[in-house]
Structure 1
Amino acid sequence: MTGVLLFIVGIVAALIGLGLSIALHEIGHLSFAKLFKVRVPQYMVGFGPTVWSKQTKETEYGIKLLPLGGYISMIGMYPPKQGEHATAQGTGFVSQLIEDGRQSSAESIPEGEEDRAFYKQAVWKRLLIMLGGPFMNFVIAAVCFAIVAFGFGVYQPTTTVSEVYQCVVPAGTEEVPEECAEPAPGYAAGLEPGDTVTAVNGVEISGWDELQGIIRESVDEPLTLTVERGETELDLTVTPRPNEVYVLDQTTGQILEDDNGNPVTQTVGFVGFTASSERAQQDMAYVGEMYGQTVSGVVNVVVTLPQRVVQMFQAGFLGAERDPNGPMSVVGVGRITGEIAAQDEIPVIDRIATIVQIIGSLNIALAIFNLIPLPPLDGGHVAAALFDGLRRWFAKLRGKPDPGPFDAAKLLPITMVMAVVWMVIGVLFIFTDIVNPIHLFQ
């Protein structure tokens, strides 16, 4: 019963984190809009029926039923039609859609507040308004990662021995032999669990990274390890043996493959022990490293999104195996946080730290996804503003008159198509996360 309750708590924590992330994303847009005096009739978190709202002088703040997004509405999103055909009316569906968009935009502007319309703002102001949301998500992610690194600390390997291996096992060996033809160097030298290595060849070491580097580079070279065992200090002589290990990608941690798809290996020195780990507070450089790795992973998912969609379809309808590093919906994130919260054998501080880190990663995903230069995402509005600025700059460069604001209403058909595409992808991801979820713990 306790496990089920904790699982629910984890899901609720994920939903609260997502809701706050969306709310702050929209506050990023709202803050710049208010700063530049753009009138904002609505600020809403979620979609669907309104659960709660409060009207201020000119803005209605509210929460809607489905926490799958949010929005602010600004007056005058689209400029009126320019030129000699300003009064012409189209007859086709697309033309009518564009005209309806322009009409709705015009009707949103109260009399006397034309200068507060979104399309009237300078290009740099429109850019800041639309980039304010993703910027806020990037800030939230930095705060979450800083809390994990500075507050909770991060598990790091130490120079204290956790386990000593009896045998040398090359990469790719499926079964560990019951008897060793020759014992592993550490085992043969008398290294024991609990020993702490303090120096190599009489030179004090700073930590695990330095110790591991020395061992890996000292194939067949005798090393004198100074270790502390309880109250005793002693020297052990070990000679690292050559051992084949997989080469890992420093960003993803996955095994690298050659052009033929075979795992890449390298020969390194091997002593035969694992290091114990303990939480340690990290510096700002580590926060930057966490940030960079997360951004790199999310960008990779976005760039390969068509391929990922195919994989999700195969996982959802054909039973294919899920990629543990692949994308997931809010349902998948909720399930993962629920699984983490329900693990009684994991210390509470570890579970909380992991959930905070997940929320940070989620914010980076929200920011980067919203920067895709397609409507109705923020990146679509950014692209439109940039195009508007470039065409005006180019006209000025050529000595031509100002062409007027870019008719962003013409993008409405693309907006509708992409809205349907994003909705279908979202439903597919949710369905797959229900029928074939990613499990951290089996």
Structure 2
Amino acid sequence: MNAGVLLFIVAILVVVMVHETGHFLVAKVFNFKATKFFLGFGPTVWSFTRGETEYGIKAIPAGGFVKIVGMNPYEEIAPADRERSYFTKPRWQRALVLVAGSATHWPVAFLILLVTSMTLGFPTGKASTEVAAVSVESPALESGLRSGDVITRVEGLETRSWERVSAFIRAHAGEEVRFTVSRGGTERPVDVVLGRAIYSPRLGPVDYAPASEELRELRGNEKLVGFLGVQPQELFEKKGFLGAAADASGKTWEATKLSVQGIGQVFSMVVDGRLWGALSGSGERAIDEGPLGIVGAGRIAGESVATGQYLNLIGLIVGFTIFVGLMNLLPLPPLDGGHLAVVAYEAVTKRPVDMRKLIPVAAAVLSFFLILFVASLYLDIARPIRTPL
């Protein structure tokens, strides 16, 4: 298994474990009776019992759960357990138990970014003219450009910064351009027919085609730019604890805003028909054509490690962590946010909710997410997102 895919899977499992630990610890603080703590669903692979709780791993690694006595409306509760059951506890305690899982996602993301800033460092926003990586199926790869090449001239003009190289590439979509590169101490010319890409100010490159192929029509404020397919060597800066903490705070907030937009985009894709259009299409798809599923994320993780773009992997893990934390707070049963909505409703109306009446709603929500999961899985396999460097 590719190292990037393995790291991504491990990261998912750690996030799930920390999430469930959040629920579990707060439940213990308020003396809820928690009888099970499992990673995964389905048949039990391994477990052990300590005290009143069974801990273990299930066969399907698609999440996890903490079983608290009284949360299941059809559960028979022993008289001795009644005082420790979910619905006999004060609403504020139930709310804290419910929110504790998702609340762990932000500290996890912050710590990942903090350590990254102190060890690897983050880009300064500047890049050299050295080629760090070459994208697959790109004009750069086809012309023979390699990782480690240093672009010294473009069409005979000396290049002192990547900004000048990038501006030239963007302005000459579909044209043949001569690059002079330094490789192993020797300069050599490399002729490249630049591809064409659609650039979105909000999303960046969203679609690409070689010069000989047609692109879809431009939408809104998108524009056509040239595409080479290389990642320049970025300049990084490591920081001490205080500077790294400031970096991590800012990037955690940015990831939160992007996750909010991402959740909105997922639902809008269903409403406006883009998801169904993507399912009926063929070939690779642009980043805004259908959701990215777990298989697609794993593929990107693998490519990130294979090309040495470790910050891409870290960004993917941080984005996943916060996205799942936010998604779980949506006011839809059976998500934690759905249970929080029930607590809020009870607080306002002063009346208990019959959870059995919400089971059809929970089933509909689960069906929706299952359809979305299957659709994203199909798209990840049949129409993977094109990810030009």
Same fold (TM over 0.5): yes
Aligned pair 1:426/2:384, yes or no? Answer: no
Q: Deviation per CA, 1:239-291, whole angstroms, max 9, x where unpaired? A: xxxxxxx9945xx5579xxxx92459xxxxxxxxxx97411025233223322
Aligned pair 1:290/2:248, yes or no? Answer: no
1:340 corresponds to: 304
Count of residues in correspondence between the two structures: 313
Aligned pair 1:406/2:371, yes or no? Answer: no
Q: Is the CA contact (8 Å cut-off) linking 1:314 and 1:320 kept in structure 2? A: no
The aligned runs of 1:358-377 (5 Å cut-off) are: 358-377=316-335
Aligned pair 1:123/2:91, yes or no? Answer: yes
Aligned pair 1:261/2:220, yes or no? Answer: yes
* TM superposition shift of 1:386: 0.9
Q: Deviation per CA, 1:139-188, whole angstroms, max 9, x where unpaired? A: 11111121222221012145984358599869765366979xxxxxxxxx
Q: Deviation per CA, 1:325-365, whole angstroms, max 9, x where unpaired? A: 6632221121111112222xx3xxx42x4323321211001
Aligned pair 1:29/2:28, yes or no? Answer: no
The change in CA–CA distance for 1:357 and 1:165 in structure 2 (over 3 A counts) is closer
Aligned pair 1:315/2:278, yes or no? Answer: yes
State the TM-score, normalized to the length of structure 1.
0.63
Opposite residue 154 of structure 1, the aligned amino acid is F
Which runs of 5 or more residues in structure 1 are unaligned? 1-6, 78-100, 180-192, 194-245, 265-274, 393-402
Opposite residue 136 of structure 1, the aligned amino acid is T
Equivalent position SS for 1:73: strand
Q: Is the CA contact (8 Å cut-off) linking 1:316 and 1:432 kept in structure 2? A: yes
Selected match of 1:156 from 124, 127, 133 = 124
The change in CA–CA distance for 1:301 and 1:162 in structure 2 (over 3 A counts) is same
Q: What is the rounded CA distance, in whole Å, between the counterparts of 2:165 and 2:69 in structure 1?
A: 72
Opposite residue 278 of structure 1, the aligned amino acid is L
Equivalent position SS for 2:236: strand
The change in CA–CA distance for 1:159 and 1:113 in structure 2 (over 3 A counts) is closer
With CA pairs under 8 Å and 6+ residues apart, which has the higher RCO, 1 or 2?
A: 1
Equivalent position SS for 1:156: strand
* TM superposition shift of 1:317: 3.4
2:188 corresponds to: none
Equivalent position SS for 1:37: coil
The aligned runs of 1:79-94 (5 Å cut-off) are: none
Q: What is the rounded CA distance, in whole Å, between the counterparts of 2:365 and 2:169 in structure 1?
A: 50
2:227 corresponds to: none
Q: Deviation per CA, 1:294-349, whole angstroms, max 9, x where unpaired? A: 21221112123233344344334322753436632221121111112222xx3xxx
Q: What is the rounded CA distance, in whole Å, between the counterparts of 2:120 and 2:166 in structure 1?
A: 36
Q: Is the CA contact (8 Å cut-off) linking 1:162 and 1:276 kept in structure 2? A: no
1:86 corresponds to: none
User: Relative to total residues, which structure has the larger strand share, 1 or 2?
Assistant: 2
* TM superposition shift of 1:11: 1.3
* TM superposition shift of 1:54: 0.9
2:139 corresponds to: none
State the TM-score, normalized to the length of structure 2.
0.71
The change in CA–CA distance for 1:70 and 1:164 in structure 2 (over 3 A counts) is closer
Higher Cα Rg: structure 1 or 2? 1
Opposite residue 21 of structure 1, the aligned amino acid is V
Opposite residue 438 of structure 1, the aligned amino acid is I
Q: What is the rounded CA distance, in whole Å, between the counterparts of 2:16 and 2:329 in structure 1?
A: 15
Q: What is the rounded CA distance, in whole Å, between the counterparts of 2:262 and 2:66 in structure 1?
A: 27
Which runs of 5 or more residues in structure 2 are unaligned? 129-159, 183-198, 207-218, 224-231
Opposite residue 300 of structure 2, the aligned amino acid is I
Aligned pair 1:279/2:233, yes or no? Answer: no
Opposite residue 330 of structure 1, the aligned amino acid is I
2:144 corresponds to: none
Q: Deviation per CA, 1:373-410, whole angstroms, max 9, x where unpaired? A: 10111110111111111112xxxxxxxxxx4x332332
Q: What is the rounded CA distance, in whole Å, between the counterparts of 2:357 and 2:118 in structure 1?
A: 48
1:324 corresponds to: 287
* TM superposition shift of 1:114: 0.8
Equivalent position SS for 1:65: strand
Q: What is the rounded CA distance, in whole Å, between the counterparts of 1:300 and 1:280 in structure 2?
A: 29
Q: Is the CA contact (8 Å cut-off) linking 1:301 and 1:308 kept in structure 2? A: no
* TM superposition shift of 1:434: 1.3
The aligned runs of 1:23-422 (5 Å cut-off) are: 23-77=17-71, 102=73, 104-105=74-75, 107=76, 109-158=77-126, 161-163=160-162, 165=164, 174=173, 248-249=201-202, 261-263=220-222, 277-282=234-239, 283=243, 284-309=245-270, 310-319=273-282, 322-324=285-287, 327-343=291-307, 346=308, 350-351=309-310, 353-392=311-350, 403=351, 405-422=352-369
Equivalent position SS for 2:34: coil
What percent of counterpart residues are identical? 26
The change in CA–CA distance for 1:166 and 1:361 in structure 2 (over 3 A counts) is closer
The change in CA–CA distance for 1:112 and 1:286 in structure 2 (over 3 A counts) is same
Opposite residue 334 of structure 1, the aligned amino acid is G
Q: Deviation per CA, 1:40-88, whole angstroms, max 9, x where unpaired? A: 11111111111111112211111111111111111112xxxxxxxxxxx
The change in CA–CA distance for 1:16 and 1:115 in structure 2 (over 3 A counts) is same
